[in-house]
Amino acid sequence: MRKFFTFLVLGIIAFVAYTYGAKAGRGRYREIQAGLDALWNDPRVKKARKQAVRRAEKAAKRAGNRAARAL
């Protein structure tokens, strides 16, 4: 019976800690999300992403051609 109450008390403490932590952490989460959104939508980052996609497509095409020649 003592183990049951110990686990019950630990469960209640964990629930309360999680609830208060989630409320306190929500603001910081929003700050981080806003910063990441600003970075992702930055024109320089968009340009770099487009260049990376183009280079990856070229590399994939070249690799496909080389594989076809090797067969």
Q: Where are the domains of the chain?
A: 1-40, 43-71
Say whether pLDDT at 23 is over 70: no
What lies within 8 Å, CB to CB, of 45 at 6+ separation is 39
Average pLDDT score over the chain = 86
Q: In angstroms, rounded to a whole number, what is the distance separating the alpha carbons of residues 31 and 22? A: 14
Among 29, 44, 40, 12, which Cα is nearest to 4's? 12
| pLDDT more than 90, % of the chain | 44
Average pLDDT over residues 17-27: 73
The pair of three-digit structure tokens given for residue 24, joined into one six-digit string: 């306190």
pLDDT band for 70, please (50, 70, 90 cuts): confident
